[in-house]
Amino acid sequence: MKQIVKILTLLLAVSAVWIGLLQTSTIPESYTWLLPLYLIVSLGCYGLLMVGIDLMNFPTCPQEALFLQQDIVEAREFLKKKGVDVGSD
């Protein structure tokens, strides 16, 4: 619930700035109507940047990989006991 309040507060603040820019003619009106589009594009670029950075810094966990391999072996054995063909190793 707290996250939604933060998002709504941010949205309200951006809307207030946008409406303020529309009412005062500090920025030409033709540019002001494009500000929401610029905001959406900027947020999309920021999101892609964060995903890219997180992928570059993705940690490797060799111990977790071993646990996963053990789980796969156990699952194959279980399925073979049930009569399911799981393919070759």
Identify residue 89 by its one-letter amino acid code.
Answer: D
Torsion, Cα 30 31 35 41, to 10 degrees, reads: 110
> Does 89 score more than 60 pLDDT?
no
Q: Which pLDDT belongs to residue 29?
A: 67
- As a three-state string, the secondary structure of 25-74 is CCCCHHHHCCHHHHHHHHHHHHHHHHHHHHHHCCCCCHHHHHHHHHHHHH
So what's the pLDDT on residue 88? 65
The predicted pLDDT at position 1 comes to: 62
Per-residue pLDDT tens over the stretch 16-62: 887 887 777 776 767 767 777 887 888 889 889 988 888 888 777 88
Task: Read off the amino acid at residue 84.
Answer: V
pLDDT of residue 78: 93
- Domain spans, the chain: 2-58
